């Protein structure tokens, strides 16, 4: 697996995400409430509209966008919620560990002390990956596990 980096999605450009997420089922995993196909205007106005939202693209060694995630302010700016996570099929495998580390680093740079996320209980590879990355499962509800990682 090649090393991944991130680039901040600023100003918002959702066209690369729309180009990556071309399957209705995949989009439902990224954001079950978003219209299919991805409408960049909808995402700007509805899903990433908060001033303190920060979104990022995962970039492979060749400079291609191969993933996406956003960090939303949680309960106060010291908590960030990891949302809208997507990794392109060609980059999957060990990309999850890198994504978790990159998201943690980005959250820290934004001043967060804690990173929270929700993951579907039937997404066993993601659950295992987040646990191995140091996330603690807080509870389960509606087929989702809520997880948290506090930074030292």
pLDDT digits (tens, 9 = 90+) for 34-69: 999 999 999 999 999 888 899 999 999 999 999 999
Task: For residue 3, give both structure tokens.
Answer: 């090393």
Q: How far apart are CA 93 and CA 91, in angstroms?
A: 7
Three-class SS state of 62: coil
Task: Residue 80: name the closest of 95, 100, 98 by CA.
Answer: 100
**Single pTM value for the model:** 0.94
d(CA 107, CA 81) in angstroms, rounded, equals 9
Q: Which of 7-16, 19-28, 90-99 has the lowest mean pLDDT?
A: 90-99
Q: 5-150: what fold?
A: Aminopeptidase (3.40.630)
CA–CA dist 148, 114 (Å, integer): 7
- pLDDT, tens digit, for every residue of 76-130? 889 999 999 999 999 988 798 999 999 999 999 999 999 999 999 999 999 999 9
pLDDT at residue 76, as a whole number:
83
């Amino acid at each position: 697996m090649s090393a991944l980096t991130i680039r901040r999605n600023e100003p918002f450009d959702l066209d690369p995400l729309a180009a990556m997420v071309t399957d209705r089922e995949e989009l439902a995993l990224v954001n079950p409430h978003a219209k299919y196909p991805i409408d960049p205007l909808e995402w700007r106005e509805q899903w990433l509209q908060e001033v303190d939202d920060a979104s990022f693209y995962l970039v492979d060694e060749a400079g291609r966008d191969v993933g996406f995630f956003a960090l939303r302010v949680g309960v106060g700016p010291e908590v960030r919620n990891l949302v809208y996570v997507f990794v392109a099929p060609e980059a999957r495998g060990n990309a999850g560990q890198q994504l978790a580390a990159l998201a943690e680093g980005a959250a820290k740079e934004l001043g967060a002390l804690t990173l929270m996320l929700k993951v579907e209980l039937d997404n066993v590879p993601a659950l295992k990956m987040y646990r191995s990355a140091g996330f603690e499962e807080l509870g389960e509800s509606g087929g989702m596990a809520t997880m948290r990682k506090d930074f030292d």
